Structure 1
Amino acid sequence: MKRSKYVQLSLAASVAMAISGCGPTEKTYAVQKKYNFQSVQQCADEKLPVDVCSDAYMTAMAEHRRIAPVYDSQADCDADFVADWCQQDSAGKFIPKLGGFELTADGQVTQSQVDAAKAQLPASEAANTGGSGFSTSSLLTGLLIGNMLSSNRNSYYSEPVYRYRDDRGSYSNSTLSQRIAKGSTFTKSNQARYGSSNYADSVRSSTSKPVSVASSTSRGGFGSKASARSGWGGGGSSS
């Protein structure tokens, strides 16, 4: 008799689960954005979670120490970046200063999350986001990404950013991988001159997937001798 009751309860639970699984699926939207920040405060001012901003900065700093190109002379370092932008480390080598960090957010949000974010917008801003759909405004995107990062810490990664002069002679900020994609080779760096593998390939492989603070600080490699004195650079426009 007891076994019969257990079987009935089990069947009832299975039917309930099957019914709930057949309901309509909530609509989702892909949200992607790249941010280029020069400080944690600037990141927080964009309505992103402060702990995410801090973690992104720490990740970028750890990667900077690991992959930043190292040079025997300041002139060689300045030639790849900006005059007087490089600094000497504790080993007597020269490395570019960290100019900021790029935070890339990539994930999905649901219709209910979109509606909740819209409810937080000023009336004038909400009018520009479209009815029940998802026509993004800058403020709405910021709110959605902030909420997404708060609930899913696997939705972002960051890279160190460096200052350099572009083809027009203007100052710009960019990651090493972005510069390599545009043809920079950093051939005068010690990694490129003395490394056992191609420096550009090493940078690309290290930035092709999200890197956590724990993993990046535990690995050695290019730039690992960079001094802890490495800090932020001055102003400049974002790329």
Structure 2
Amino acid sequence: MRAVRVPVPDTAGAEGDGVRALDVLTAVATRTRAALGECGAATVVTVGGDCGVEVEPVSAALARHGDGLVVVWFDAHGDLNTPGSSPSHAFHGMVLRTLLGDGHRDLVPPRALRPGQVILAGVRALDPAELAYATDAGLAWHTVPELTADPGVLVPAVAAAGGTAVYIHIDLDVLDPEEFGSLSYPEAGGLSVGALRDAVRALTARFPLAGLGITEYAPRREEDQAVLASLVPALLADIATG
């Protein structure tokens, strides 16, 4: 297993074709591809940065595992906008849609995920265009109450999708801000740290881990540092890599 630490992009720059700071994003993608090339076939843990850092690691996992890859997207937000639908034009709200093949030409990967390869987990704040897309595309979606009641519910969902390996994306705003407050875009009603840990460990006990991304940490409270320091080793304990 190898870890890739990706610099936080400065996304305050000029907008390019509906995507803010496009030049920075393409530069980060280039550096990330280079780092992934050095890792070879290792299972990679990517620490962002915002969710935009996930395009290249997920693409690399898809190239390795093909149709057997399932991406579980732990996030309060869907990240399903396009440059045309995004209210903010911030790429971190377009990442998953880009991985699904709809996005800026300079950022869409050569091979796109199929909707059947994606499972939304803990998503609870979608723009109208995102909700319409998720519904029309038939994306699988498990809510916070479902995950809280049964953290193992994602295991049969991945199996039903034909998954032989799982990529786990964690935007930390999937957590409840009452329990973990170091977030740029908190949304009430999130997962507990324990429920997230148990859901991830249920997945990694059953499926090889194709990659793990942990994103959107915005240090605000000292106590959250301790939470994160204990959470990450717990997520990676006793995993099967692939």
TM-score when scaled to structure 2?
Answer: 0.23
Higher relative contact order (CA 8 A, sep 6+): 1
